[in-house]
Amino acid sequence: MSRDAGMEIFGEAAPYLRKSEKERTEAQKQPFDAKTYCFVADPEVEYTRGRIKAAQDGKITVETEDGRTVAVKPDDVYAMNPPKFDRVEDVAMLTHLH
């Protein structure tokens, strides 16, 4: 069965709804540390990806994907699913639901 089976009904949106086999394989190979990768609240884009750099005095220091360093409360840090789950078709497969 082709990876695009059933996807033609989505027309031009289809490539954005399912990764190609190559993209899925590459995502499996990406290094990922569930203890440091996270999402944090961002006033401009709602949430942004980041990596936890430190935790002290009730604040978590996170380096965001755009290079900023922010200090946030632990309640404002959300766990991230591994890259292999990007555009997953069945949310039951996800480790974290937000």
What tens digit of pLDDT does each residue of 18-63 get? 767 787 777 677 777 778 889 898 888 888 989 999 999 999 999 9
Task: Evaluate if pTM is beyond 0.75.
Answer: no
- Into how many domains does the chain fold? 2
Residues 83 and 55 in one domain: yes
Residues 19 and 42 in one domain: no
Higher-confidence residue of 17 and 54: namely 54
pLDDT confidence of residue 86 = 66
pLDDT confidence of residue 32 = 72
Residues 39 and 2 in one domain: no
Q: Is 64 exposed, middle or buried (0-12, 13-18, 19+ CB in 10 A)?
A: middle
pLDDT confidence of residue 45 = 83
Residues 67 and 21 in one domain: no
Query: Reduced to 3 states, what is the DSSP secondary structure of residue 77?
Result: strand
DSSP string, 5-62: TTGGGGGGGHHHHS--HHHHHHHHHS---TTTEEEEEETTTEEEEEEEEEEETTEEEE
Element (H, E) at 79: strand 77-79
pLDDT confidence of residue 2 = 47
